[in-house]
Amino acid sequence: MPGEFHEALVKVVQDRPEFGGELLRKAEPGRFGELKVVGAVGGCTSVGSVGITERRADNLIVLELDDGSEIAVIVEIQNAWSEDKYYRLPGYIGRAFEDHRCSVEALVVCPSDDLAARFRKGIHVGDMHWVPVQAVGPTDMPLIEDADQDGASAESAVMAALLHRRKDLTERQLSTIDELLRKIEPGRASDYALHLCSQLNKPSSELLEAIMKTMTATYHSAWSDQLRSEGREEARRDGIASLRTVLFGVAQRRRIELSAPHVETISESEDVDQLQRWIANAAVAAEAEEIFREEQT
């Protein structure tokens, strides 16, 4: 199943670059008119990063404004306040400014309004010098009640639901999400549905699943297939982990000493039949090498 809340939001901002423009308008209503995507970089490297770890923003898009000028927007998903991110954002901005030779905006998506307000204060880089930061919190992304309302899109509906994930969403709100998901590619819609079902609170998740099960849409089939696939894969991983545990237990009971390479071999094996053969061998083996004898012949 899709995992982290952060990763769910990252997927939303990376899937469709135009959505970055929608977020920018929500951060500063009235400042920007029509925004056209002219480039999607998929991240920008921080200036001055030390070591082999490359630090990248969650997304970087280049937008064209009404007057024909361009603006680069760095989009970051931030779950909590981070001193590291506070000092790193100016590096992202500097790199984007150097690479694209246009105005740059840093936009942070936050799961709470308090965190968004803290980032909006900007970054103090010296006397009289501040780097402004745009931020979007739950209040800036209200839950969508109607698929035809202004600014409604699958991405905006999914992001709003994720930012308000602790609330009990209404049937109308969840039905609107379902309606908007029908309008995009089935595979992407299925991914969003899986993220929502794993991140929303239990009543909202169960209601969304009930809506999808009682309606008929192409993405519903993709969602069901993916859900079954995820379930089978999870069961397979659990089964393999259990077989490894049994094998280690048999070896321990028979006082068979396993070397570090032996432990590594067992831990890395994902072959169910192989693990079962090793368990059978261990039940009669006197030493470790006998457990793996079929591998040696």
Which amino acid appears at position 30 of this protein? Answer: G
Q: Using CA atoms, how far apart are residues 93 and 74, in angstroms rounded to an integer? A: 7
User: Is it the case that residue 223 has pLDDT exceeding 90?
Assistant: no
Residue 174 — pLDDT band, cuts 50, 70, 90? very high
* Residue pair 96/74 in contact by the 8 Å Cβ criterion: yes
Mean pLDDT of the chain: 85
Percent of the chain with pLDDT over 90: 34
pLDDT at residue 46, rounded to an integer: 53
The mean-pLDDT minimum among 50-59, 131-140, 278-287 falls in 50-59
User: Is it the case that residue 219 has pLDDT exceeding 70?
Assistant: yes
pLDDT at residue 139, rounded to an integer: 96
pLDDT tens string 270-279: 887 888 889 8
pLDDT at residue 5, rounded to an integer: 86
Q: What is the mean pLDDT of residues 259-279?
A: 87
pLDDT at residue 118, rounded to an integer: 95
Q: What is the mean pLDDT of residues 127-133?
A: 91
* Residue pair 46/95 in contact by the 8 Å Cβ criterion: yes
Which amino acid appears at position 296 of this protein? Answer: Q
Which residue ranges make up each domain of the chain?
1-139, 142-215, 240-296
Residue 45 — pLDDT band, cuts 50, 70, 90? low
User: Is it the case that residue 2 has pLDDT exceeding 50?
Assistant: no
pLDDT at residue 30, rounded to an integer: 80
Closest CA to 170 of 211, 111, 114: 211
The mean-pLDDT minimum among 86-90, 100-104, 143-147, 213-217 falls in 213-217
Q: Determine if the pTM surpasses 0.75.
A: no
pLDDT at residue 297, rounded to an integer: 37
pLDDT tens string 47-100: 444 444 456 788 999 988 888 889 999 999 998 999 989 999 999 999 899 989
User: Is it the case that residue 25 has pLDDT exceeding 70?
Assistant: yes
Higher pLDDT, 126 or 54: 126
